[in-house]
Chain A
């Protein structure tokens, strides 16, 4: 038996009887420092005050955050170290598998009711394992993936019991370091030996991220033959199908995943998005409603769910006017959105447009027009570009609200900023036939494409010329601006001239309104640091 006298425990359960019985067990095991909490929110605030060594958390606490949400939050806010032992108590053993949180798994599940012998056996083992893994866990705490790799290699050689865990940590570290080829080799090696669920998932995700859709789909589908109950694999297949433009089949696949594991906010959100796109408004309302519901207790909650739910409800009415129930739900949803995100001007504009759409469909066109006009005025003063998907949704609403001119301007903007993205162009094509808008970015995008090829071939000055010509046509295109800045910096070497730096800064400034949610935001920041020397 391990020594528990110096360990700090936190036990979380909504039943006080259970708390006192576990507390008694821990005392018999020699524990002296045992805190308890009834709610997840309470547990999180206690972890802010004190570093716990061992947390025993009930999964289903009735109201408020569940155990999985608490764990995610503790890790995201770095309120617990990787060395902390987190045990999830569940009411039945099958629950553990349905949790489907591959990203953040607890160290162990313990099925209730359990006796002292089981608790002691479980904790003894976990303390032993975490002690052996200490160098890896410390490196994880330091967020030093290179050190994680080194520690894993060392430990796996010393003790073969640690090998499977070390491989998993290594995979995470390689992904973080962007060493994709090594990661693919490692995962291939794991899978050559055994059909390991997490390795299938990681390999599929890697291929998907790289755009190797055909192989990604193969991997996910092969894994599903063995593991038909693993929802993450369905997410992967759906993502492939969506990228291939098969939105309907993607929706079907996600519906399967939701049947297996309904408690996953991001999955419901994705399903809502697909259903909306497929004009399955009932399905979209249902999925977005679940996402809103689940998001309430989660740090992953997103404003898009509130907007998506409102949009789906409005669209469900078709050409009829909204019924009272739908109207009440829309109002409540938008009020909650305002309550949560009232300080975000872009969301305010979008919420206002949504409100206008619902008024238009409930017999108050005058007020709808008034709100729409207000929203259009607000749009001009936003400090950030709208993300592409939001911009398209706003453009569609402006069209429906009779703000044709503002809608067209929005689409024109979209072409300029995101015109190199085929998916965005597809979306724009669904909303307009105007050749002036659709062809607006063609020439610049082609020049950009040639520039990328020249850059890849090492012809940096040719590339720069092409990027410059593209940028002259579309100065707000994020990709072109970043490409131009990058080739300027590359040509400038270690001591770029003042002239070159000025040009670089100018093209970065032209896209300074890049949304912070944009995947290229990180790259933008890096270039900015180089060009502005901060």
Chain B
């Protein structure tokens, strides 16, 4: 096959994989509905749903990266209420959070705090961070937002052990996509940084930062949007 464009082949395969995964999810939901109540709440269900969500998140990321590469990632920013946006992200993960016994809460500085961003793109970034934090959090997850120096700051905290020191020190490399040895984490950060950068205002661009400590003592993921 001459002129085979590997990136395009991978992208269309990923697209099919995502569809397969969605069908698996639907079949699983139908199956569950037929089970008696006590079997429905089995731990295996939590594993299946969590890993399916993670897989889906990774596939979405891959597709997003492909589209970024060919400059076809649609950006459709609008004004959104942070309260609403964070609420929607937490709702999407409710079953998994419940099954892991993690209490998640939102903390928005002011009830009418607004942001200007693409909610699908930012949603996929936040979704990935949540899915990741769930793995490391002991019992609590906090998503918050506030205004800082005229920018919007969105932060996701957990009470786990935090990011490894090396990762925090070399976060620039992860963000640049230089260090992809750790698999999905590196890719996820790269994706997040690119999405943040797409948000621009008067020459200023969005960015991400990793840290430890924060309000819950564990890892903290920050995304700044101008």
Q: Which one, A227-235, A246-254, A331-339, A359-367, is touching chain B?
A: A227-235
> A160 to B112, Cβ gap below 8 A?
yes
In the assembled complex, how far is the CB of residue B89 from the closest CB belonging to chain A, in whole angstroms? 9
> B77 to A197, Cβ gap below 8 A?
yes
> B92 to A230, Cβ gap below 8 A?
no
Instruction: Give B66-84 as 1s and 0s: 1 = Cβ < 8 Å from A's Cβ atoms.
Output: 0100011111111101001
Q: Which one, A92-100, A277-285, A402-410, A418-426, is touching chain B?
A: A92-100
Q: Is A491 an interface residue (CB 8 A)?
A: no
Q: Is B116 an interface residue (CB 8 A)?
A: yes
In chain B, positions 80-136 with a C-beta closer than 8 Å to chain A are 81, 84, 87-88, 90-92, 94-95, 112, 114, 116, 120, 123-124
In chain B, positions 204-218 with a C-beta closer than 8 Å to chain A are none
In the assembled complex, how far is the CB of residue B33 from the closest CB belonging to chain A, in whole angstroms? 7
In the assembled complex, how far is the CB of residue A511 from the closest CB belonging to chain B, in whole angstroms? 45
> B74 to A98, Cβ gap below 8 A?
yes
CB-defined contacts of A17 to chain B, threshold 8 Å: 26, 30
Residue of A nearest to B79 (CB): A164
> A230 to B79, Cβ gap below 8 A?
no
> A97 to B77, Cβ gap below 8 A?
no
Q: How far apart are the CA atoms of A113 and B88 in the complex, in Å?
A: 14
Q: Which one, A46-54, A117-125, A137-145, is touching chain B?
A: A117-125
> B29 to A113, Cβ gap below 8 A?
yes
CB-defined contacts of B201 to chain A, threshold 8 Å: 194-195
CB-defined contacts of A96 to chain B, threshold 8 Å: 120
> A159 to B73, Cβ gap below 8 A?
no
**Which of B76, B84, B90 is A227 in contact with, Cβ under 8 Å?**
B76
CB-defined contacts of A92 to chain B, threshold 8 Å: 18
Q: Is B178 an interface residue (CB 8 A)?
A: no
Instruction: Give A80-99 as 1s and 0s: 1 = Cβ < 8 Å from B's Cβ atoms.
Output: 00000000000111101110
In the assembled complex, how far is the CB of residue A109 from the closest CB belonging to chain B, in whole angstroms? 8
Q: How far apart are the CA atoms of A97 and B81 in the complex, in Å?
A: 19
Q: Is B25 an interface residue (CB 8 A)?
A: yes
CB-defined contacts of A229 to chain B, threshold 8 Å: 72-75
> A118 to B114, Cβ gap below 8 A?
no
In chain B, positions 12-26 with a C-beta closer than 8 Å to chain A are 18-19, 22, 25-26
Instruction: Give B51-79 as 1s and 0s: 1 = Cβ < 8 Å from A's Cβ atoms.
Output: 00000000010010001000111111111
In the assembled complex, how far is the CB of residue B1 from the closest CB belonging to chain A, in whole angstroms? 23
Interface of B is mostly: helix
Q: How far apart are the CA atoms of A160 and B111 in the complex, in Å?
A: 11
CB-defined contacts of B112 to chain A, threshold 8 Å: 159-161
In chain A, positions 101-121 with a C-beta closer than 8 Å to chain B are 112-115, 117-118, 120-121
Q: Is A226 an interface residue (CB 8 A)?
A: yes
Q: How far apart are the CA atoms of A141 and B72 in the complex, in Å?
A: 38
Q: How far apart are the CA atoms of A194 and B200 in the complex, in Å?
A: 9
Instruction: Give A45-79 as 1s and 0s: 1 = Cβ < 8 Å from B's Cβ atoms.
Output: 00000000000000000000000000000000000
Q: A196-B78, A227-B75, A229-B73 are in contact. Are A125 and B22 (CB under 8 A)?
A: no
Q: Is A21 an interface residue (CB 8 A)?
A: yes
Q: A96-B120, A197-B77 are in contact. Are A121 and B91 (CB under 8 A)?
A: yes
Instruction: Give B29-58 as 1s and 0s: 1 = Cβ < 8 Å from A's Cβ atoms.
Output: 110010000000000000000000000000
CB-defined contacts of B18 to chain A, threshold 8 Å: 92
**Which of B75, B79, B87, B124 is A125 in contact with, Cβ under 8 Å?**
B87
CB-defined contacts of B76 to chain A, threshold 8 Å: 97, 197, 227, 230
**Which of B67, B92, B116 is A194 in contact with, Cβ under 8 Å?**
B116
Q: How far apart are the CA atoms of A256 and B161 in the complex, in Å?
A: 49
Q: How far apart are the CA atoms of A18 and B200 in the complex, in Å?
A: 39
Q: A121-B91, A160-B112, A227-B75 are in contact. Are A94 and B120 (CB under 8 A)?
A: yes
> A160 to B77, Cβ gap below 8 A?
no
Residue of B nearest to A110 (CB): B88
Q: A229-B73, A229-B75, A230-B76 are in contact. Are A115 and B25 (CB under 8 A)?
A: no
Instruction: Give A458-480 as 1s and 0s: 1 = Cβ < 8 Å from B's Cβ atoms.
Output: 00000000000000000000000
> B26 to A113, Cβ gap below 8 A?
yes
Q: How far apart are the CA atoms of A221 and B73 in the complex, in Å?
A: 18
CB-defined contacts of B87 to chain A, threshold 8 Å: 121, 125
Q: How far apart are the CA atoms of A197 and B84 in the complex, in Å?
A: 21
CB-defined contacts of B94 to chain A, threshold 8 Å: 115, 117-118
CB-defined contacts of B30 to chain A, threshold 8 Å: 17
Residue of B nearest to A162 (CB): B112
In the assembled complex, how far is the CB of residue B123 from the closest CB belonging to chain A, in whole angstroms? 7
Q: How far apart are the CA atoms of A195 and B90 in the complex, in Å?
A: 29
> B120 to A97, Cβ gap below 8 A?
yes
Residue of B nearest to A229 (CB): B74
> A121 to B88, Cβ gap below 8 A?
yes
**Which residues of A are at the interface with B, using a C-beta cutoff of 8 A?**
17-18, 21, 91-94, 96-98, 112-115, 117-118, 120-122, 125, 159-161, 163-164, 194-197, 226-230, 260
Sorted from nearest, which 10 A-B pairs have the closest CB atoms? Answer: A229-B74, A164-B79, A117-B91, A117-B94, A121-B91, A97-B74, A118-B91, A93-B120, A161-B112, A125-B84
Given contacts A21-B29, A93-B123, A229-B74, 20 further A-B contacts (CB under 8 A): A21-B33, A93-B124, A94-B63, A94-B74, A94-B120, A97-B76, A112-B22, A114-B92, A117-B90, A118-B91, A120-B91, A121-B88, A161-B114, A194-B116, A195-B77, A195-B201, A227-B76, A229-B72, A230-B74, A230-B76
24 contacts between A and B (CB under 8 A): A93-B60, A93-B124, A97-B76, A113-B25, A113-B29, A114-B92, A117-B91, A117-B92, A117-B95, A118-B88, A118-B91, A121-B87, A121-B91, A125-B87, A160-B112, A161-B81, A164-B78, A194-B116, A194-B201, A197-B76, A226-B200, A227-B74, A228-B71, A230-B76
